[in-house]
Amino acid sequence: MLAVLRLALGWHFLYEGVWKIRHPDLFLGETEGFLSGARGPVAGLFYAMLPDIDGRQRLEDNLPRVEGKDKEVDIEATKACKVAKSWDDLRQKFVNYYAPAAGSDDAQKKLHEQLSAEAQKVYDWHLKGLNEFVNENGGKIKAHFESLKRYQDGRKTDPHTMFQTQRRWDEMQDLRKEAKGWISDVDARENALKSDLLGLLRKNRKPEKEAVARADKEAAEKAGAKKTADAAAKKPAGADAKKADEKKNAPSPPAPLPEGEGKTKGKPSSPAPLAATTIVLVDFSPLADGRPELGPFTPSSKPWEWTRIEQLAFLLTWALFGIGLCLMLGLFTRPAALAGAGFMLFVVMSQPSYPGVYPLDPPQLGHALLVNKDFVEMVALLVIASTCLGRWTGLDFFIHKYLVKPFCCRCGDEATSEGGKA
């Protein structure tokens, strides 16, 4: 039965590890939710594992502040904030990544200069959007952190009653949810900036051409409507109705010709109105030939360049997989069982089941007092670690027989011979 228990525990850990390997993005979100949802006396230890859990650094320190209720942040102040500077670093990284190699012809260099100019336009457009976001939400963000300060001060003086614990928990979750909405918005804007920069390198940009045509058509319609309104305003009050009807029924002037078709039968045409959005349809795809699809924004394979939460998720994923595999094979059973028990202690400490801890476990999980399912699994792993089960029904038998036992015998013989000589 101990072997069955070892296999059951091993399968649990192994499948958890395999699932996390196959769904890294989902597990990354689960890890963040697990740590931010920690409760009990040591919850602060788990909160510290999350970078900027309250969003103070990303919202209050990295964005420009709105000082007054009716004041707005100008574009230069937004450009000087840390978020805008990091976006400018992304733009520069993108431009440098696609720089032509030494000895390239003038055509490649000119194409790269055009790409740099278009990347600057993309950055400026997103910077304008960030400035609008700050002016729209800056006052709310300021009020949010004032509420956060009151919450933190209140926790130091509140009586430790169940009612106050519940009220403070709900208040903390509301504040974090509010901050997460703004953080997600800023992160989405950064991802959109990366996507638009990479979009400059697409070969087929037909949708953008259609967008230009639509913008030209809308601009022409607005210009025509304005011209008609101005003419109506200048029209004398006693104008002849017949002339007005003739003018109304007259055929509309031809649509403006596209750029490049400026003359027809020797007569110059009127210039076409400018598009609402400036889009350059130069083919920059030759600069990206032979390079990764995501270019400079390809995720790094170096763990020291990852965020803290990504490092923790990677460590947990492969630790669970390794523990489960070792338990299933009976290989290094004792260390694997001890490591599994340590992980379960980590889980028990983050979600304890004893009086005074809020929020309570969902009714679907049952009712527990001190001892819950995670605690039982931890004890079971300690039982496995206290036996020689791997030698009886696992690969530890071969390790003990061909490595450990000969080494111990050799050390014992050497000790006996030295004792005899003495």
pLDDT digits (tens, 9 = 90+) for 133-156: 999 998 899 999 999 999 888 888
Integer CA distances (angstroms), 154 to 45, 94, 120, 149, 165, in order = 20, 47, 47, 8, 11
The last residue of a domain, from among 255, 281, 298:
298
Distance CA 378, CA 24 (A): 25
Nearest to 36 by CA among 260, 409, 312, 279: 312
The last residue of a domain, from among 280, 298, 316:
298
Residue 369 three-state SS = strand
* Residue-wise DSSP of 169-213: HHHHHHHHHHHHHHHHHHHHHHHHHHHHHHHTT-S--HHHHHHHH
Q: Does 254 map to a domain?
A: no
Integer CA distances (angstroms), 17 to 14, 24, 343, 371, in order = 5, 10, 13, 25
Please indicate, yes or no, whether residues 158 and 74 belong to a single structural domain of this protein. Answer: yes
Distance CA 323, CA 334 (A): 10
pLDDT digits (tens, 9 = 90+) for 75-116: 999 999 999 999 999 999 999 999 888 777 888 889 999 999
The last residue of a domain, from among 298, 332, 359:
298
Please indicate, yes or no, whether residues 44 and 176 belong to a single structural domain of this protein. Answer: no
Range of the domain at 314: 1-51+307-422
Q: What is the pLDDT of residue 412?
A: 61
Please indicate, yes or no, whether residues 42 and 110 belong to a single structural domain of this protein. Answer: no
Please indicate, yes or no, whether residues 179 and 59 belong to a single structural domain of this protein. Answer: yes
Please indicate, yes or no, whether residues 170 and 38 belong to a single structural domain of this protein. Answer: no
Average predicted confidence (pLDDT) for the chain: 81
Which helix H or strand E contains 268, and what residues bound it? strand 267-268
Q: Does 175 map to a domain?
A: yes
Judge if pTM exceeds 0.85.
no
Q: What residues have CB less than 8 Å from 169, skipping those under 6 apart? A: 39, 358, 359
Count up the domains in the chain and report the number. Answer: 2
Point out the least confidently predicted range of 222-236, 292-306, 399-413: 222-236
The answer on pLDDT for 46 being more than 60 is yes
